A and B are shown apart, each in its own frame.
Chain A
Amino acid sequence: MDEASLAGPRERALAEAPVRVVSARVGLGRRLTTLWSRRELLWGLVFSDIRIKYKNSALGIFWSMLSPAFTLAVYYMVFSLFLKNGIPNFVVYLFAGLVVWNMFLTAVSTATGVIVDRASLVKKVSFPREILALSNVGAAIVYFVVQIVVLVVFLLVLRHAPAWGYLWLLPVSFLALAAFSAALSVVMSAVNVYFRDMKHLIEVVLQLWFWLTPVVYSYENSIAPHLAAHGLSILYFLNPVTLVVVTFQRVFYVTPVVHSTVTGQVLNILPTWSFERFLLLNLALLVLSVVAFVVAEAVFGRLEGNFESEL
């Protein structure tokens, strides 16, 4: 090939190439389009993260199932067998909520420290930094999918049919959770650069958060009547994870009202909302979560300008 002849077409192509701007402030729109254009890096990081995590372990990705399975077994024994909460088929109820909670927990807790942990990369290679936090969310989603598969197998074995009519709530609810997790992860990863305590603080907060979310207990059957009496039900649902957990429980556990296996009393386990009400609430949550993600991107943009002085 005659190398000299390459100069012509290259220069012509260059003249038409888009211009990239590096400056102190990057507009939010440009941030988001840049992020989208680098999605292939996001996939690359997600899968390399997973590969590295399980590279030298014999059981590999099965660990992502074993650990939640163990948690599931412990909670089942404690709440159903020892404390006798009387909820029939409690293991399904528990599983549906845990799957959701695990994804949120994994995403936020791993993403918070990621910018600091990967400081050498951040200081040497150019790419949208929030991709690091998002790759942890992506990995959490992969584990979520694996656990959902296990849940489905579980349901098949137990011959427990989901609420077919409510099935379409799942994608909406999942997307809302993913967007909310991403928003929180992106902000936390940047804040942790300035306040290194955030990594430890978030672990404490997440523990508290877990008990504010109706995973191992039933909201309707515990504090709901008390809150409703004061018109404060909304307070409980300010926690975005709650709606997603309740939606997953409604789809997989199915029956909102059951008879206690211990006393035979009627138990209100889940809200008795119609499909439309569930859908509306989940759509609202999705919109709010997407807005939260956009805000998180803006906050991240503000904070990342000084990363090099802090890392």
Chain B
Amino acid sequence: MTTVIEVREVSKQFKIHHERHQSLKERVLHPRSGSTELFNALRDVSFDVGAGETVGIVGHNGSGKSTLLKCICGVLKPSTGQIRLRGSLAALLELGAGFQPELSGRDNVYLYGAMLGLSRRTVDAVFDEIVEFSEIAPFIDTQVKFYSSGMYVRLAFAVAVNVDPDILVVDEVLAVGDERFQAKCVDRIQRFQREGRTILLVTHNADQVRALCDRAIVLDGGDLVADGPTHESLRVFRERLLDEAAEHDPEKLLGTIQIDSVTTPSGSFEVRNGAGVHLDVVVSSQGAFSGNFVVEVFTRGGLLVSRSDAQGAPVNLVPGANRVAVDLPALPLLDGVYDVNLGVVDTHGHTVVAWREGAASLQVIYDGREGGIVALGTAVTQL
């Protein structure tokens, strides 16, 4: 496999001005004052991405993921280290940033194309597709300043994905547009995957990463803390989030509650033909706590099969070891391995106080010949 992105020991420091002296007079009067502080947005980050891979970059706000992405796109220059790229790159960073409000949509498509490094002829060839994808054909000759924000973003997205990039970099943009357009975007990204293009997806939406990526990289405070298969990286990500939350936790609840073990009465996690499963969960708590239990079931492909209602399963934990029974009375699932995540949240369902990613892996065995995830028991009768 060809390596298309090589990130080598990339660090990025920002100067933070506490008091800005940007006029000449101020600079002359206060040559040394106006203290600046160096902020490390990225520290010695290295990884490779091969052709055709879809890699998710996750991290909470301020973890450096956007900085990393901007470095890869060349918007920012790393302070040290280097990034080597092979093939053309299109970035869906802050869509429409290159648009000139005074120009028409048509002119902007060409200008934006030129910014992405495309010749006029290349844009000519895909112009109709761009307009069609963006669904703004009647307004293509209207000045962009009259566009709604949705039209703006759709046009920018349409240009970026129709220019045949080898590498597509996507930053949180799937959160824009209406649901139908979002689905269209995800669809296009999946088509890119099938076409063997390389995709970098930056988000803090774990579900999206699970659904689209084979591999995920976790950044925390500018450090690369995990790089591996999606479900393993996401486990690290969730743990980091909990650690992070623990530091800002007024009631000092976090870290006091832990999910210690998950077992079944028989010791086996095999599920046969729609039977249910009973999980014995041991939760240790340092204090009394009332909250709710959350259960998630995922396919290995990252599709969320079910997430229980965070407020539907109250538990009252006492200090010491607590036993909680989790019953999944019927699992009408088809053949495959399903991962179960367990968590404890507060009564409002806002704060996760304990989480166990991959608490159990269910081996589902189904004898029927249906395909998919759910056994619907479809019956066809000729009358």
Give A contacts to B, CB under 8 Å. 3-4, 6-8, 10-11, 13-15, 17-24, 26, 37-38, 40-41, 43-45, 48, 51-52, 55, 120-121, 123-127, 194-198, 201, 304-306, 308-310
Which of B99-107, B319-327, B366-374 has 4 or more CB atoms under 8 Å from chain A?
Answer: B99-107
B84 and A20: CB pair below 8 A? yes
A23 and B81: CB pair below 8 A? yes
Task: For the complex, give the distance between the alpha carbons of A201 and B22 in Å.
Answer: 14
A14 and B4: CB pair below 8 A? yes
The 8 A CB mask of B191-235 against A (1 = contact, 0 = none) is 100111100000000000000000000000000000000000000
Q: Enumerate 14 A-B pairs (CB-CB under 8 Å) in ascending A order.
A: A4-B194, A7-B195, A7-B196, A11-B52, A14-B51, A14-B86, A14-B87, A17-B87, A20-B86, A21-B82, A24-B79, A24-B80, A52-B100, A305-B77
| A39 (CB) vs chain B CBs: closest residue | B114
Which B residues lie within 8 Å of A14 (CB)? 2, 4, 51, 86-87, 166
Q: Given A3-B191, A126-B74, A195-B27, are A11 and B22 neighbors across the interface (CB < 8 Å)?
A: no
5 closest A-B pairs by CB: A7-B196, A124-B97, A23-B82, A126-B74, A44-B114
CB distance from B108 to the nearest CB of A (A): 9
Q: Which residue in B16, B78, B87, B115 is a CB contact (below 8 Å) of A23?
A: B78
A306 and B15: CB pair below 8 A? yes
Q: Which residue in B22, B73, B166 is a CB contact (below 8 Å) of A10?
A: B166
Which applies to chain A's interface (DSSP): helix, strand, loop or mixed? helix
A55 and B102: CB pair below 8 A? yes
CB distance from B170 to the nearest CB of A (A): 14
B83 and A197: CB pair below 8 A? no
Q: Given A11-B2, A22-B85, are A123 and B79 neighbors across the interface (CB < 8 Å)?
A: no
Which A residues lie within 8 Å of B114 (CB)? 40-41, 43-45
Q: Given A17-B86, A22-B85, A196-B22, are A52 and B102 neighbors across the interface (CB < 8 Å)?
A: yes
| A15 (CB) vs chain B CBs: closest residue | B2
Extra A-B contacts (17), CB below 8 Å, given A23-B82, A195-B27: A10-B197, A11-B52, A14-B166, A17-B88, A20-B86, A21-B85, A22-B71, A22-B77, A23-B78, A23-B81, A38-B117, A40-B119, A51-B103, A52-B100, A125-B75, A125-B98, A196-B22
CB distance from B141 to the nearest CB of A (A): 13
A201 and B24: CB pair below 8 A? yes
Q: Across the A-B interface, how many residue pairs have beta carbons closer than 8 Å?
A: 136
Task: For the complex, give the distance between the alpha carbons of A40 and B23 in Å.
Answer: 35
CB distance from B87 to the nearest CB of A (A): 5
The 8 A CB mask of B89-100 against A (1 = contact, 0 = none) is 001011001101
Q: Which residue in A18, A23, A41, A309 is a CB contact (below 8 Å) of B83?
A: A23
Task: For the complex, give the distance between the alpha carbons of A72 and B87 in Å.
Answer: 53
Instruction: Say whether B110 faces chain A, with CB atoms less than 8 Å apart.
Output: yes
| B112 (CB) vs chain A CBs: closest residue | A125
Which parts of B98-148 form the interface with A (CB within 8 Å)? 98, 100, 102-103, 107, 110-111, 114-115, 117, 119-120
Instruction: Say whether B47 faces chain A, with CB atoms less than 8 Å apart.
Output: no
Which A residues lie within 8 Å of B82 (CB)? 21-24
Q: Which residue in A18, A125, A195, A310 is a CB contact (below 8 Å) of B115?
A: A125
Task: For the complex, give the distance between the alpha carbons of A52 and B110 in Å.
Answer: 15
Which A residues lie within 8 Å of B18 (CB)? none
Task: For the complex, give the distance between the alpha carbons of A11 and B16 in Å.
Answer: 42
Give B contacts to A, CB under 8 Å. 1-2, 4, 14-17, 22-25, 27, 51-52, 71-88, 91, 93-94, 97-98, 100, 102-103, 107, 110-111, 114-115, 117, 119-120, 166, 191, 194-197
Task: For the complex, give the distance between the alpha carbons of A24 and B115 in Å.
Answer: 21
Task: For the complex, give the distance between the alpha carbons of A83 and B298 in Å.
Answer: 90
Q: Which residue in A38, A41, A195, A306 is a CB contact (below 8 Å) of B22?
A: A195
| A43 (CB) vs chain B CBs: closest residue | B114
B83 and A21: CB pair below 8 A? yes
Which B residues lie within 8 Å of A196 (CB)? 22-23
Task: For the complex, give the distance between the alpha carbons of A309 and B78 in Å.
Answer: 13
Which A residues lie within 8 Å of B22 (CB)? 194-196, 310
Which A residues lie within 8 Å of B84 (CB)? 19-22
Q: Given A10-B166, A10-B195, A55-B102, are A309 and B14 neighbors across the interface (CB < 8 Å)?
A: yes
Task: For the complex, give the distance between the alpha carbons of A281 and B93 in Å.
Answer: 49
Which B residues lie within 8 Å of A126 (CB)? 73-75, 91
A19 and B2: CB pair below 8 A? no
A22 and B97: CB pair below 8 A? no
A44 and B17: CB pair below 8 A? no
Which B residues lie within 8 Å of A44 (CB)? 110-111, 114-115
Which B residues lie within 8 Å of A43 (CB)? 114
A308 and B166: CB pair below 8 A? no
B77 and A23: CB pair below 8 A? yes
A48 and B107: CB pair below 8 A? yes
Task: For the complex, give the distance between the alpha carbons of A15 and B51 in Å.
Answer: 9
B86 and A19: CB pair below 8 A? yes
B107 and A51: CB pair below 8 A? yes
Task: For the complex, give the distance between the alpha carbons of A87 and B194 in Å.
Answer: 76
Q: Given A19-B85, A24-B78, A305-B77, are A48 and B103 neighbors across the interface (CB < 8 Å)?
A: yes
CB distance from B22 to the nearest CB of A (A): 5
| A37 (CB) vs chain B CBs: closest residue | B117
Which B residues lie within 8 Å of A308 (CB)? 14, 76
B78 and A127: CB pair below 8 A? no
A124 and B4: CB pair below 8 A? no
B115 and A22: CB pair below 8 A? no
Task: For the complex, give the distance between the alpha carbons of A126 and B73 in Å.
Answer: 6
Task: For the complex, give the distance between the alpha carbons of A20 and B6 in Å.
Answer: 10
| B118 (CB) vs chain A CBs: closest residue | A40
Q: Which residue in B72, B110, B194 is a CB contact (below 8 Å) of A22?
A: B72
Which B residues lie within 8 Å of A124 (CB)? 75, 93-94, 97-98
B97 and A121: CB pair below 8 A? yes
Kindly name the residue among B91, B98, B114 whose own CB sees the greatest number of chain A CB atoms within 10 A: B114
